[in-house]
Chains A and B, each alone.
Chain A
Amino acid sequence: MQIEIQYNPAHSLATVHLNAGESIRAEASAMVSMTRDIDVQTNAGHSAGGGILGGLRRAVVGGESFFQNLYTARRNGAHVSLAPRLCGSMVVHDLDPSVDLFIQGSSYVAAPDSVHIDTKFQGFKAFFSGESVFFLKASGRGPVLMNAFGALETRELNGELILDTGHLVAFTAGIEYAIGKASAGWIASYLSGEGLVLRLRGRGRLWIQSRNPNEFGSAVGGLLPSRKG
């Protein structure tokens, strides 16, 4: 399996080249195009409870389903091209069994089944903004394809950092996190526009995206015609 990423940092497209018999599991809505010699198995969720998870996640993140497709190549030279919903970059992290990876819910795109995906639902909903945090845990071995809204920065953390939650893509085990309000009070946090922040501490790798999907959503969504409930 080879994952090729083009058009970073703004309009990334990930083309997964598969050999005969190889598979990759990806969100159904991420498929852009593919060669004809790929078998597609639909509605196959990572780990148990894909359906329940889907409902939960949609309630939390909003508008995002968690239905996965399994793409299997019948022949060498087959490929499937994937892209996330928002503009930005994609990156592949080669997962090692000794270090787990925590991925922010909407940043996960695809991985083979040698990578085990678990949900670690945070459920912290900010009082005013409705913002919430949702993590997936990836363990095992293999390439994990992640997306970033905007440009992606990789940082080796050794110490402490306060990060706006909407800018988090992923971090490796070894980094501890605490979720809190941006300012001392709820009203100040609301007016500051920052909402929830993460206090990260420890040693490990951190992926940060240069744009915040919630801020983008608020900026544009507020101008769209209203919806029925």
Chain B
Amino acid sequence: MNHRVEHGPSFAWLKVGLAEGEQIQAEAGAMVSRDPQVEMSTHLNAGQGAGFWRVFVAFLVALARKFLGGETMFVNRFRSSGPGEVILAPALSGQIIHKQLDTTSKLFVQTGSYLASTGQVDTRVRFTGLRSLLGGEGLVLLECTGQGDLWVNSYGGVLPLEVNGAFTVDTGHIVAFDGSLDFKVKSVGGMKSLFLSGEGLVCEFSGRGVVYIQSRNLKALVGWLSRLLPA
């Protein structure tokens, strides 16, 4: 398999060359194009080796999110019967970064930022509370572990920041962060700020590790546009 990110940093897409029998998994809707010998099949993203119960829960959650808004958790698997190319792209503008995972590391990825993965990369959904489960505020994270390649996308530019002590990031601006970091989701500055500041929730990181920050935020865009809209 060979892979290349092109057209970054603003409108990046991922070009993957698959050899016979090779496979890559991508979030639903990500396909731009594929050679005819590359086949696509759709699956529920319940993680690697999931038993019946995990698949069942994942299915319920997926349905809930499909109707209440949020990531759908369906993925497409692309497998080639000969050398073939598939191109993948996210819905929003921005960059794509590639991470090589091994069994010693763990990466948390905001679900909207997951693009694709290969090999034995396992993705498990983690909610930071009931509200985030139902597509409201809060972080919905994919805990990515295992061996393989992982691609995540940012809305806007991506800035990797080394945390050494403490750092605060608006939840809408988080792409991904190292599993070595501790994190806590809270409101930005007390009750008044929660409702009035427009900042919503923030994530306070502590410890050591890298947090990947995106320079745009879908909720901020929606807020900005909402003031202009006709009924």
Partners in one complex: yes
Task: Please give the residue numbers on chain A whose beta carbons come within 8 Å of chain B beta carbons, in ascending order.
Answer: 9-10, 87-88, 150-151, 153, 160-164, 167, 182-183, 188, 191-194, 199, 208, 210-212, 215-216, 218-220, 222-225, 227-228
Q: Please indicate the chain B residues that have their CB under 8 angstroms from the CB of A223 in the complex.
A: 69, 218-219, 222
A192 touches B74 (CB 8 A): yes
Task: Please give the residue numbers on chain B whose beta carbons come within 8 Å of chain A beta carbons, in ascending order.
Answer: 6-7, 10-13, 27-36, 40-42, 69, 72, 74, 76, 89, 91-93, 218-219, 221-222, 225-226, 229-231
Q: How far is the CA of A167 from the CA of B41 in the complex (A)?
A: 20
Residue of B nearest to A216 (CB): B91
Scoring A88, A153, A192 by chain B CB atoms within 10 A of each residue's CB, the highest score goes to A192
B11 touches A160 (CB 8 A): no
Q: Name A's interface SS.
A: mixed
A162 touches B36 (CB 8 A): yes
Select B11's contact among A10, A183, A188, A192, beta carbons within 8 Å.
Answer: A10
Instruction: From known contacts A151-B7, A162-B35, infer whether A225 and B42 are also in contact, taking CB-CB under 8 Å.
Output: no
A160 touches B36 (CB 8 A): yes
Q: Please indicate the chain B residues that have their CB under 8 angstroms from the CB of A220 in the complex.
A: 218, 221-222, 225
Nearest-neighbour CB distance to chain A for B221, whole angstroms, equals 7
A9 touches B11 (CB 8 A): yes
Given A151-B13, A182-B31, 4 further pairs, Cβ under 8 A: A10-B11, A191-B74, A193-B74, A208-B33
A-B contact count (CB 8 A): 114
Residue of A nearest to B69 (CB): A222
A150 touches B218 (CB 8 A): no
Nearest-neighbour CB distance to chain B for A36, whole angstroms, equals 29
Q: Please indicate the chain A residues that have their CB under 8 angstroms from the CB of B7 in the complex.
A: 9, 150-151, 153, 210
Residue of A nearest to B93 (CB): A87
Residue of B nearest to A227 (CB): B231
Q: Please indicate the chain A residues that have their CB under 8 angstroms from the CB of B91 in the complex.
A: 211-212, 215-216, 218-219
Complex A-B: 5 CB contacts under 8 Å: A151-B6, A220-B221, A224-B222, A227-B229, A227-B231
Q: Please indicate the chain B residues that have their CB under 8 angstroms from the CB of A199 in the complex.
A: 36
A192 touches B92 (CB 8 A): no
Nearest-neighbour CB distance to chain B for A146, whole angstroms, equals 16
Q: How far is the CA of A167 from the CA of B11 in the complex (A)?
A: 13
Q: Please indicate the chain B residues that have their CB under 8 angstroms from the CB of A211 in the complex.
A: 11, 89, 91-93
Q: How far is the CA of A162 from the CA of B38 in the complex (A)?
A: 9
